Amino acid sequence: MHRFPTGKMLFDLYHQDPDEADRLLFGRRTYPDRRGFLKNAGLAAMGALVGAAIPFHRNIPAHFIPVALASEPAIPGKDGLTVLNDRPMCAETPPHLLDDAITPTERHFVRNNGLMPQDLDASRWRLAIDGLVDRPVTLGIDDLGARFEVVTRALALECAGNGRAFFDPKADGEQWTYGAVACSEWTGVRLSDVLTAAGLQPGAVYTAHYGADTHVSGPESGLPISRGIPVTKAMDGHSLIAFAQNGQPIHPLNGGPLRLIVPGWPGSCSQKWLTRIEIRDQVHDGPKMTGTSYRLPNRSVAPGEAVDEKDFRIIESMPVKSLITHPATGHRTADDEIEVRGHAWTGEGRVDKVDLSFDFGATWKRASLDEPVNAYAWQNWRASIAFPGSGYYEVWARATDSRGVSQPHAIAWNPRGYLNNAMHRVAVYVE
């Protein structure tokens, strides 16, 4: 397992080349007087990583490692996430840490395709809108807030590969279990308002998104990811160009200072470190937009079956799904009745019901389900379950959406390990 360079790894990095470590981690340079070197993007990056402003930053010497970054195995600015990879950084949140109705920034999963840009200075950030538009424009973050209505929405984001770890045969890619999903509050402007102001031309079909991150093999290897969405989805009023997360600047590992939020569709559509949106007259063909990336076979296939590349289609709407956030699996209790709670969500429409079973699906109990706070937010649910006696139990959760589609018992296998929406189960021991 790879880790973000904290603790011993961080000290080793500084021991080998402290100037390069400063540059890589914070984009900062060492000045001859060894004071006042942490400025602009470097200061913003360190502040974001330690999770607060640094009032006495002018006193920080060169080659300094904040103690908040020096413990193992933490990810700066994150709490309790499990690291799957550190190049690029990918980390998921254990289900029991996702119990909040709105996901705190420190518990929002991280899914990067490339390396985080070094210069994250929001005051210098620019977004270009070009391609098939009448009025190409370049906007700063302040321009977005001044020219367009600013809105805040609770929006669920989920990686299309969430649940890939449970595929058999195994599928290549990050081995997510349950925690590549979150529902934070995002603040920004409607993508549709910006595109309308730019003036979409009649031939506009698809967007193309570009970010400031770099390929893990170096900039000469091209972009790490550049996906897009149909113009019809871009004009959905819930698709945002976001510059705040839970009322604060977006965490740099979550795409700050500027990113797209395209709710209901795979998280890969929500470009991080956004610098450009191009309007095209065809389906975008950027990196991880073609071949089998973020695509499913156009038919059901048997586990392990080979599928010709021409038989894959682009993933759009995400499936109905639920998550048990309390109790954590393996929970032991002397009580014969406990509260079970969690969230449910779907790519289009809404969730109509969540049912729970503790007898391996023989009987089901309806949970109390909250209304969504807005479209594309996950819905919170809860129920009390009374166990008939001591022993081992499994609690299963099954969501059903407004189209009448329910979560399946088993994984619908596909070669890339996408869209596993099988029912979530947790183990409970009654003593």
Domain boundaries, the chain: 7-77, 122-314, 321-430
User: Closest Cα partner for 98 from 162, 2, 164, 49?
Assistant: 162
pLDDT at residue 375 in the model: 98
Weakest mean pLDDT among 3-17, 173-187, 391-405:
3-17
Tell me, yes or no, if the two domains 122-314 and 321-430 fold the same way.
no
pLDDT at residue 344 in the model: 98
Q: Comparing 49 with 410, which gets the higher pLDDT? A: 410
pLDDT at residue 4 in the model: 44
From the CB of residue 175, how many other CB atoms can be counted at a distance below 10 Å?
A: 18
| pLDDT band at 271; cut points 50, 70, 90 | very high
Report yes or no: 194 and 202 within 8 Å, Cβ to Cβ: no
Topology (CATH level 3) of domain 321-430: Immunoglobulin-like (2.60.40)
Q: Comparing 222 with 49, which gets the higher pLDDT? A: 222
pLDDT at residue 22 in the model: 66
- Tens of pLDDT, residues 148-162: 999 999 999 999 999
pLDDT at residue 8 in the model: 44
CATH annotation of 122-314 = 3.90.420.10
Report yes or no: 229 and 291 within 8 Å, Cβ to Cβ: no
The residue-averaged pLDDT of 42-61 equals 70
Q: Is the pLDDT score of 133 beyond 80?
A: yes
| pLDDT band at 59; cut points 50, 70, 90 | confident
pLDDT at residue 76 in the model: 86
| pLDDT band at 10; cut points 50, 70, 90 | low
Contacting residues for 330 by C-beta, under 8 A, at least 6 apart: 426, 427, 429
| pLDDT band at 2; cut points 50, 70, 90 | very low
Cis before residue 169, ω within 30 degrees of 0? Answer: yes
Query: Could you give the strand order of the β-sheet that contains 206-211, starting from the edge strand earlier in sequence?
Result: 137-140, 126-131, 274-280, 206-211
Contacting residues for 203 by C-beta, under 8 A, at least 6 apart: 132, 281
Weakest mean pLDDT among 9-13, 44-48, 89-93:
9-13
Q: Is the pLDDT score of 212 beyond 60?
A: yes
Residue % of the chain over a pLDDT of 90 = 82
pLDDT at residue 14 in the model: 55
Q: Comparing 16 with 173, which gets the higher pLDDT? A: 173
Q: Which amino acid would we find at residue 82?
A: T
- Tens of pLDDT, residues 214-244: 999 999 999 999 999 999 999 999 999 999 9
Q: Is the pLDDT score of 267 beyond 80?
A: yes
pLDDT at residue 54 in the model: 77
